[in-house]
C-alpha cells in the first residue's frame, strides 16, 4: 500500500526553521530521504517553495469560469509545504516512517493512504472480449525461467 506524508507547518514553524543553518536542514532531510531509499520504500517526494506570496496562487471553482486569485494565504494557519509517497506494508509502518521525519514543533505530517486499483474494483471496465494470446503467461514463465538460470521451466 502507498501512503502520502503531507508536510504541514505553521508560519511560526517556518520562521523557526530559519534559525537553523540551511545546510543542516538539507543534511537532516537528506539523511531521512536516504534511509527511505535504502529501505526501498520511497517512491516520490517533493518540497514546495515557500515564496507563496509571489509564486503561489489559487484557482477557485466557486465561479464559472474558475477565478484565479492570490489565495487566502494571509488567513491560513498551516502551509502545505512538501510531500513524500512511500510504499509500505501497513499503516503502522507508515506511522513509523512519519515519526522519523526531522521536523520540529509547529510542524505536522498528515498521513494519508493513496488509493490503488482495489478502490475502484467495482468500476473496473468489463467489456473486454477475451482474446487469447499466451503472451503474458509465456512472458511470466520466461521471467521465472530466466531467474532460475538456464534450466528449462
Partner 1 sequence: MTPASDVRPTLDAVWRIEGGRIVATLAAACGDLALAEDLAQEAFVEALRSWPDGGMPDNPGAWLTTVGKRRLIDTWRRRERLDERHRAMAAELEEHAEDRWEPIDDDVLRLVFTACHPVLSKEAQIALTLRVVAGLSTEEIARLFVVPVATVQQRIVRAKKTLGAAAVPFETPEPSEWRARLSAVLGVVYLVYTEGYSATTGDRWMRVELADEALRLGRMVAGLLPREPEAHALVALMELQSSRFPARTAADGSPILLDDQDRTRWDRAQIERGRAALRRADALGRGRGAYGLQAAIAECHAMAPSADETDWERIVLLYEALGRLAPNPVVDLNRAVAVSRATGPASALLIVDRLAGDGALRGSHLLPSVRGELLAQLGRTEEARSELATAATLAQNARTRAVLEAKLAAL
Contact set with partner 1 (CB under 8 A): 37-41, 43-44, 87-93, 95-97, 116-118, 121-122, 124-126, 128-150, 152-153
Task: Report in angstroms how near the CB of residue 121 gets to partner 1 at its nearest.
Answer: 6
Return the number of the residue (69 or 90) whose C-beta is nearest partner 1: 90
Decide whether 7 or 97 has the Cβ nearer to partner 1.
97
In angstroms, rounded to a whole number, what is the distance separating the alpha carbons of residues 116 and 119?
6
Q: How far is the CB of 58 from partner 1 (least distance, A)?
A: 26
Q: How far apart are the first and last CA of the chain?
A: 32
Cα distance between residue 35 and residue 96, in whole Å: 12
Would you give the DSSP letter of residue 40? T
For residues 43 and 152, give the distance between their C-alpha atoms in angstroms, rounded to a whole number: 35
Give the nearest distance from C-beta 126 to partner 1 in angstroms: 5
Q: Is the dihedral of CA 99, 102, 107, 112 positive or negative?
A: negative
Q: Residue 37 or 58: which CB sits closer to partner 1?
A: 37
CB of 143 to partner 1, least distance (A): 5
State which residue, 27 or 69, has the beta carbon closest to partner 1.
27
Report the residue number, 62 or 147, with the smaller CB distance to partner 1: 147
Which residue in the block uniquely carries the three cell numbers 474558475?
Answer: 66
- Minimum distance between the CB of residue 17 and partner 1, rounded to whole angstroms? 22
Distance CA 150, CA 33 (A): 38
Amino acid at each position: 500500500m502507498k501512503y502520502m506524508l503531507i508536510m504541514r507547518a505553521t508560519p511560526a514553524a517556518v520562521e523557526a526553521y530559519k534559525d537553523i543553518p540551511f545546510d543542516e536542514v538539507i543534511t537532516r532531510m537528506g539523511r531521512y530521504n536516504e534511509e527511505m531509499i535504502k529501505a526501498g520504500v520511497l517512491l516520490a517526494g517533493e518540497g514546495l517553495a515557500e515564496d507563496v506570496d509571489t509564486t503561489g496562487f489559487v484557482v477557485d471553482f466557486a465561479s464559472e469560469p474558475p477565478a484565479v486569485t492570490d489565495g487566502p494565504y494571509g488567513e491560513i494557519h498551516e502551509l502545505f509545504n512538501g510531500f513524500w509517497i512511500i510504499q509500505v506494508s501497513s499503516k503502522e509502518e507508515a506511522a513509523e516512517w512519519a515519526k522519523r521525519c526531522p521536523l520540529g514543533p509547529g510542524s505536522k505530517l498528515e498521513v494519508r493512504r493513496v488509493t490503488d486499483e482495489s478502490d475502484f474494483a467495482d468500476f473496473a471496465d468489463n467489456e473486454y472480449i477475451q482474446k487469447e494470446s499466451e503472451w503474458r503467461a509465456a512472458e511470466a514463465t520466461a521471467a521465472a525461467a530466466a531467474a532460475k538460470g538456464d534450466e528449462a521451466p
